[in-house]
Amino acid sequence: MAVLAAAGCTGQVDERRAGAARQQVALKKKAVPKPLPPRRMDCAAVKCLALTFDDGPGEYTARVLDDLRKAGARATFYMLGQNVGSHPDVVRRMPLEGHEVANHSWSHADMTGLSSGAVRSEVRRTQEAIKRASGVAPTSFRPPYGSTDARVGKAVGMPQILWSVDSLDWLHRNVRKNVRAGVSEPEKGGVVLFHDIHKPTVTAVPEILAGLKKRGFTLVTVTELFQGQRLDPGGRYTELGEKGPTVAQ
């Protein structure tokens, strides 16, 4: 009887342990964070602006994410596929904090100088890299140098998002000029181009965010900006409210 009782107690302990283990697994599954969905925005009424950052991810991108989080702002990151593998945690963080991941080609080649097959390869490889790192597949493309045409647009197969304000941060690498361009030049419904690979740009971000907030802007992702407007695959867009897609010839 004593042996049977001991065996019974052991079985109960094992069952409790198994139950606890199952509960821990369930809790871990529930705790897996999910990307924040786009907010419902009426950018025809709200003073919306989309900040976009190209050519990353890089060594400074996490700082940009930190500053955006502190400001309660969202942005869109047009990333190079060849850079994604070096910063997977940063890319994963983007959609979890409400930012949009987007495609800027694999190698930053001029798409008009590539064959249609090569364009498709650049896009596809980048889609796969970003999806693998973030769990989210991009829905828009930005051609390097803004260089595109009808053939490229057809090969890309996604809306092509350009910009209404080019900060020229890649050229002057100057914090004060970045702030001036980022705060003074944008208009409602605009898309602003920066590069998160340049330290002076990243240094300017907190002041840019504060200045835009003071001007009354709500900082949104590209998808949030255009959610009330149809975007055609291959179409080229620079700001909200365009009468239709502009396709370079």
229/151 same-domain check = yes
6/80 same-domain check = no
Rounded CA-CA distance 247/106 in Å is 22
Q: Within a domain: residue 248?
A: no
The share of the chain scoring above pLDDT 70, in percent, equals 85
**Residue count (the chain):** 249
What is the rounded average pLDDT for all residues in the chain?
A: 91
Q: Within a domain: residue 69?
A: yes
Q: Within a domain: residue 247?
A: no
CB-based contact 35:95 (threshold 8 Å): yes
Q: Within a domain: residue 6?
A: yes
User: Among 54, 55, 169, 196, which one carries the catalytic annotation?
Assistant: 54
pLDDT for position 6: 47
Q: Within a domain: residue 9?
A: yes
**Residue 248 pLDDT more than 50?**
no
pLDDT for position 31: 62
pLDDT for position 94: 98
DSSP per-residue codes, 39-60: P---TTTS-EEEEEEES---TT
pLDDT for position 25: 57
**Residue 190 pLDDT more than 90?**
yes
**Residue 247 pLDDT more than 50?**
no
165/215 same-domain check = yes
Q: How many Cβ atoms sit within 10 Å of the Cβ of residue 126? A: 25
59/12 same-domain check = no
**Worst-scoring range by mean pLDDT, 19-28, 66-75, 174-183, 185-194?**
19-28
127/25 same-domain check = no
pLDDT for position 95: 98
218/101 same-domain check = yes
> Residue 228: pLDDT band by 50, 70, 90 thresholds?
confident
Q: Within a domain: residue 246?
A: no
53/28 same-domain check = no
91/208 same-domain check = yes
Q: Within a domain: residue 41?
A: no
Provide the domain count of the chain: 2
pLDDT for position 11: 54
Q: How many Cβ atoms sit within 10 Å of the Cβ of residue 22? A: 10
25/109 same-domain check = no
Q: Which of 46, 58, 97 is nearest to 76 (CA)?
A: 97
> What CATH number should be reported for the domain holding residue 57?
3.20.20.370
pTM: 0.86
pLDDT for position 169: 98
User: Among 87, 99, 104, 195, which one carries the catalytic annotation?
Assistant: 195
211/118 same-domain check = yes
Query: Which whole number is the average pLDDT over 150-176?
Result: 98
Residue with the two structure tokens 């996490």: 62
Query: Which whole number is the average pLDDT over 170-196?
Result: 98
Catalytic residue list contains 66: no
116/220 same-domain check = yes
pLDDT for position 17: 73
Question: Is the Cα torsion angle 198, 199, 202, 204 positive or negative in sign?
Answer: negative
The share of the chain scoring above pLDDT 90, in percent, equals 83
**Residue 244 pLDDT more than 50?**
no
pLDDT for position 33: 86
Query: What range defines the domain where residue 76 resides?
Result: 48-237
Per residue in 48-59, pLDDT tens? 999 999 999 999
Catalytic residue list contains 54: yes
119/217 same-domain check = yes
Q: Within a domain: residue 42?
A: no
pLDDT for position 170: 96
pLDDT for position 15: 64
